[in-house]
Structure 1
């Protein structure tokens, strides 16, 4: 009995010393607590406090020990700014990333815990493009509150004036655009469609991205091909082919032209509708899905998601907040709040909510394209000084060269080599040397 007591006391002394010396660093004794108050910093874009506060208030009502500090950010240098701060450990817990940014942010993000978002649940909730954008190595790195991309805005009066229907394919599109174009000796007065240039066609790179996906045989890993040359010919033909000329480099921007009622067809994301309505409240326009080239149905996606910093001290709680933001009830609340100050809110990312908006004359087109959205690194208006801006520049230079008379095939080697360098820079692991 005495021997047993001695053994027990000895073990107690040993374990007591271990706990005193190493306990604070042992994970068993160092699990983060969720009982105390938590503050999360959330960086957003565009949305003012008055639109976000009702969402945050609802979350804090359900989670009284969590405080959310919302900070609206400028889009200027946003990508580099948020990435720098996250890497320095002083950035936000939750922040927005474009759906094309995962290659640039992969090492900076905390993956979603499986008990917050599962892969199977994520696939059921969101459109396929969300998974291709934000899921890598079977881990979820962001979740969308919206779905958006390119759709076809059309002037109802101009289209009905020629007795045409909304085009479903590119041939119908070209025919209607040609008939809506009005010219005189000084040039185009009313343009049928805004395509063919870079400087005055807003979202020109998204249009080219759409065409790359629609053209059969295009390999994005080998852009030096006859198929890509044909896309450049098709796109610039709206300016340099006299048989189907509907646009010109001398015209105002496509957004200005459409807002003034002088443009029949205009490709843009949903948020442009707010700008159009402000500029011209009497403009009679609707929005349709993009025309298709073949039996393969493809649309172009460009949208934003909510991500969590790898350096967040409360990553799980941050992901729980993201789960709340992207839930059906919160998306509906956000849509209702935004609709009080503009035409509509963000088109729902939740597939279950799609039927509620499918009949809308503006938003419905973006929802209907949900299952067929694809993306690449030609997204406009990301202002990322990175994978999109650098890729867009190569295509911009190529289009401008073709407009100056250069054969499309001859510019493709530069595009192919340049884009491969961009992809290597942003999509492959960087080798870091010690500098010693």
Structure 2
């Protein structure tokens, strides 16, 4: 298994490694020959002489299996490793090469008892294990690939050297059709391949349209209302439905509600495909209803993409893909609304409303509630999505005032 994992990763010595530790990113790269001088990569500076360091990277030609195993690996490591073993997120990538990112974990073990678990992992599982050894002078570090359970080190060793942060955050290399889906066929293919391991995937497949296509706009306008929880979306969408004589739809659609809890437990690749397909089911409903009445949609692709991008890209807002990046483009085969309004609200007021509601929240909404940085990334991702872009409306005033402001936007943009 280890040899197969290595064969999936050509250009090993050209890879850069990223380690997330205490909210910061540390980078190092490899050299096949020691060139003298240089400094110790920052991630190794605090390592004590008794510590052993390892990386465990998940790599498989089957990306469903890879996603599932990575999602379960952290729990396995935390459960089976000794308490004094530190486990941190880690990744490896080829700079500026799409889909080159592989994820895993960095282990620092002072008990020196990780070897047996790691040997068991490479015996059967889609992982590549490396150990890191300190040179006699304490300055030089080398990386050794494990070639098999009975031979912990391969003949090849690499010298570990510091590396500059890449121009683009490494997570952005794998966003397209993994964290955010831009095609019905790509999302459907993930769901189809899940059929053997997730019985509920068959139920999702039965609800899908036979195909998606970039249809022209329906006869009546389609208005999407976006925003974080507790910004007043439900009140506004219901008021617009009544005042415009419109049809109100939601994404994810009601038909997927019984399945959401099941897919929320899955790794991002599968969970994001599920929600992406929900947008295509909603689009089919919009196309039908939009021939008869205006349509109001409570959340759509903007939410799906903004939350996924903010979750995938760790660190500060500046780590997000640059404005104008292709990750913010609207899927070419997904119906485009006539107007997208995103409601914004002062964070303290939003938290107060959430407390008053006392309702259960998704994991991502819980993250929004206590993590200001995550909220800022979601809001910035909303702002950068194009085709169509969002129009921002302050949801702080009374519900009637917000309704009047949005009605003015609709009259100006949609001529209703």
Specify which structure has the bigger relative contact order, considering alpha-carbon pairs within 8 angstroms and separated by 6 or more residues.
1
| Structure label with greater radius of gyration | 1
Q: TM-score range by the shorter chain?
A: under 0.3
Structure 1 length as normaliser, TM-score?
Answer: 0.25
In proportion to residue count, which structure has more strand? 2
Structure 2 length as normaliser, TM-score?
Answer: 0.26
